[in-house]
Amino acid sequence: MTLDQALAEARGKYALIIDLNKCTGCRACELACHQRNELPGDMSYIRVYPKQKPDGSPYFLPVQCQHCVKAPCESVCPTGATYHHESGAVLVNDKTCVGCRYCMVACPYDARRYDEEKGIAEKCWLCLDWVLGGGVPACVQACAPGARIFGRLDDPDSEVSQLIASGRAKPLHPEFGTEPGILFYIFPGE
């Protein structure tokens, strides 16, 4: 394999599936994100929400940037600081973000966090440096119950591809129309 081929492969599409049947609400993902990104206070790019099933029993819903294909945060960004990487991840260029926060208003998943000190509206970047090096995001490493499944979407044999192809893993709030590109969920009972 040539270097170009290796790089092209390393930049292939990824998916992160959260199995809500396995999530215990421990919030280790929130903390791992906070620590990995050296975020101020108790800031994290992940929020774990307590929810109720129709029968009244509890479950937990971790939410972070869904890396939307039709990302409204990208289209409203006046400087082009929010952009799509070839891996499908939606990233923020901290040198060109002017802190206008239009993206925070535009994101229907409330996935942006404003860092007052830096003046930047940040978000999950999938720990892409680790991923391109062959690793997994910090939240995936931290999830002891194995509720977070990370892998290659452009490999039809990967666990993530199979879960999505089977219809078990689905986007969160498809009615928002933003087409989540990397985050998918296995909902309670599915």
User: Site residues (CB under 6 A) for ligand SF4?
Assistant: 18, 23-29, 48, 60, 62, 65-68, 71-73, 90, 107, 109, 111-112, 123, 142-143, 145, 147-148, 178
**In the bound complex, what is the minimum distance in angstroms from residue 76's beta carbon to ligand SF4?**
9
Spatial separation of the C-alpha atoms in residues 163 and 181, rounded to whole Å: 14
Residue (28 or 136) nearer to ligand SF4, CB: 28
Looking at the Cβ atoms of 34 and 67, the one nearer to ligand SF4 is 67
The residue (of 161 and 186) whose beta carbon lies closer to ligand SF4 is: 186
Residue 95 CB, shortest distance to ligand SF4, in Å, is: 19
CB of 69 to ligand SF4, least distance (A): 9
What is the nearest approach in angstroms of ligand SF4 to the Cβ of residue 110? 8
At closest approach, how far in Å is the CB of 112 from ligand SF4?
5
| Min separation Cβ 146 and ligand SF4, Å | 8
Beta carbon nearer to ligand SF4, 34 or 112: 112
The CA-CA-CA angle for residues 112, 115, 119, to 5°, reads 110
**Contact by Cβ (8 Å): 12, 154:** yes
CA distances from residue 142 to 1, 4, 87 in whole angstroms, order as listed: 33, 32, 22
* Residue whose CB is less far from ligand SF4, 147 or 169: 147
Task: Tally Cβ neighbours within 10 Å of residue 57.
Answer: 8
Residue 45 or 161: the one with the smaller Cβ distance to ligand SF4 is: 45
Tell me if 126 sits within 8 A of 90, measured CB to CB.
no
Closest CA to 84 of 102, 66, 100: 66
Number of C-beta neighbours around residue 159 at 10 A: 15
Q: Let me know if 164 is exposed, middle or buried by CB neighbors in 10 A (0-12, 13-18, 19+).
A: middle
Q: Cα angle at 127 between 126 and 133, to 5 degrees?
A: 115
